[in-house]
Amino acid sequence: MAKGVLCVLSGFSGSGKGTIMKEVVNRYDYALSVSATTRKPREGEQEGVSYFFLTTDEFKSMIAENGFIEWAQYVGNYYGTPRAYVEEKLSAGKDVILEIEPQGAMQVKEQYPDAVLIFVLPPSGEELYRRLTGRGTETEEVIRSRMKRASEEAAYIDQYDYVVINDDLGESVEAVHAIIRSARERRSAHAEATERICSEIKIMVP
Ligand code: ADP
Ligand code: 5GP
């Protein structure tokens, strides 16, 4: 069976990538990888749904056991993608979405060269600040650190395959879905079938 598409979705904190991803998974049949983090849960976040919330010691043990396909530090906390779920779903032919920051995205790109990398941008700098403050989940100090981090993350955008400007949420969701759908039809994804069909045709030629 053809392997599923691995899609990496990154974007500045507050750009709306989490919202896009939730809606993509609501509307379509994608497997969403749940990350592990040492960050404290926000109001309303659920263990095993939003994240697996770990202590730093637990996180470091998982690194030592090669339990992550990638991990990184972001504004004082560890974040990582558990290996088992992603590999199981891809092998079963399911498309998997990872919502991760750029350092992790670069590690994924190296290990999975066929992964599709999408960077989500807000429509403007002002709107990014509005969304970050409007979410009401972070202190002013954390918001400042995240804005600073956004300006550093901009350097990675060149390494991504696609940019989605998240102005209208519905349009962004459809754009992400269309990108993954077309990745399914890449030549490399059909290598086995191409080989089989072409050799069948060769045999038929007298
Ligand atoms: P991220 O996961 O990138 O940090 P979130 O998904 O938490 O960002 O979104 C940040 C805030 O912006 C949230 O309050 C969310 O409801 C809002 N938001 C997301 N997408 C849009 C959009 N297209 N238009 C307006 N507000 C949005
Ligand atoms: P937040 O604290 O807002 O949930 O996430 C902060 C940043 O960490 C976001 O850019 C988010 O995409 C990223 N992130 C979430 N999970 C992972 C992960 O498993 N690995 C990496 N490298 N980044 C992650």
Domain spans, the chain: 6-33+94-204
Task: Look at domain 6-33+94-204 and name its CATH class.
Answer: alpha beta
- Give how far Cα 134 sits from Cα of 40, 177, 190, Å: 20, 27, 44
Please tell me whether residue 167 adopts helix, strand or coil conformation: coil
pTM score, two decimals? 0.94
Contact 97, 5 (CB under 8 A): no
Pocket-forming residues, ligand 1, beta carbon under 6 Å: 11, 13-19, 131, 134-135, 166, 169
Kindly report, residue by residue over 21-68, the tens digit of the pLDDT: 999 999 999 999 999 999 999 999 999 999 999 999 999 999 999 999
Structure tokens at 180: 């993954």
* Burial of 153 (C-beta count, 10 Å sphere; 0-12/13-18/19+): buried
CA 101 to centroid of ligand 2, rounded, Å: 5
Please tell me whether residue 103 adopts helix, strand or coil conformation: helix
